[in-house]
Amino acid sequence: MRSMLTRGPAKIEAVITPLIDIAMLLVVFFALVSQIGIADFVKLNLPKPSPTAAVPARNESRIVINAIANQDGNVTSWRFSGEDFDVNPTGLQSLSKAVTAAIRANPAAQVHLRADANVKYTYISPVLDQVGKAAATAIPGHVVKLRLAVQPEHRGG
């Protein structure tokens, strides 16, 4: 009994390891589910030209347009900045407005077009039109740099 009384005051110390664990888990979680990641890089089976003239993507400002397609090569929607746009004329108009605003906000940005390898060209062509219009509408005389996303040769798949 006496030993308990003579033990002295208890030491108070912060155990920071769980705090660090939780903080890093949150960082990883939000990084993975953030709008930027989802909006810019939808998982797609990109074309794979071989031998390729493509260059690796750099850390340049970009505007990414993704074609969400089914297995038959029909685009079901266009995804831009986390928002889905229909494949009808109204949806394309909305996409054009969104791209116009993005180009106006960042004129130096490249436009990256990401589409599945099996997407039919009939879906791609109107978007090329809309991107061209958007650039010219945002800044008269402005020619946007269009980049076509492809898979590197050295990767499998």
Partner 1 sequence: MAETASIAAALDELARGQGPVETYSHSTDDVLANRRAARRAKRGISLNVIPMIDVTFFLLVFFVCANKTLDREELLRTDLSQRGVAMVNPTALTLDEPPLRIELFRKDNHTMIKVLAPMAQPESFEQLTEVFNSKRYSPENPNGLFPSDHPLELAPAKEVPWEDAVAAFNGLVRAGYQQIHFAEPQ
Q: How buried is residue 55: exposed, middle or buried, by Cβ count under 10 Å (0-12/13-18/19+)?
A: exposed
Sole binder of partner 1 in the list 80, 107, 145, 156 (CB under 8 A): 145
Sole binder of partner 1 in the list 10, 12, 14, 55 (CB under 8 A): 55
Could you say whether residue 125 binds partner 1 (CB under 8 A)? yes
Q: Which is nearer to partner 1, 84 or 152 (CB)?
A: 152
Measuring CA to CA, which residue among 76, 80, 104 is closest to residue 94?
A: 80
Q: Rounded CA gap, 108 and 154, in Å?
A: 30
Could you say whether residue 83 binds partner 1 (CB under 8 A)? no
Look up residue 21 and give its two tokens.
Answer: 């664990």
Which part of the chain contacts partner 1 (CB under 8 A), choosing from 76-84, 85-93, 99-107, 125-133?
125-133
Counting residues that bind partner 1 (by CB under 8 A) gives 65
- The minimum distance between CB 9 and partner 1, in angstroms, equals 10
- The minimum distance between CB 74 and partner 1, in angstroms, equals 11
- DSSP assignment of 21-52: HHHHHHHHHHHHHSHHHHHH---------SS-
Q: Rounded CA gap, 84 and 97, in Å?
A: 13
51: preceding bond cis by omega (within 30 degrees): yes
In the complex, the residues that contact partner 1 under the rule CB under 8 A are 2-3, 6-8, 16-17, 20-21, 24-25, 27-28, 31-32, 37, 41, 43, 46-49, 51-57, 67, 73, 110, 112, 114-122, 124-125, 128-129, 131-133, 135-137, 140-141, 143-152, 155
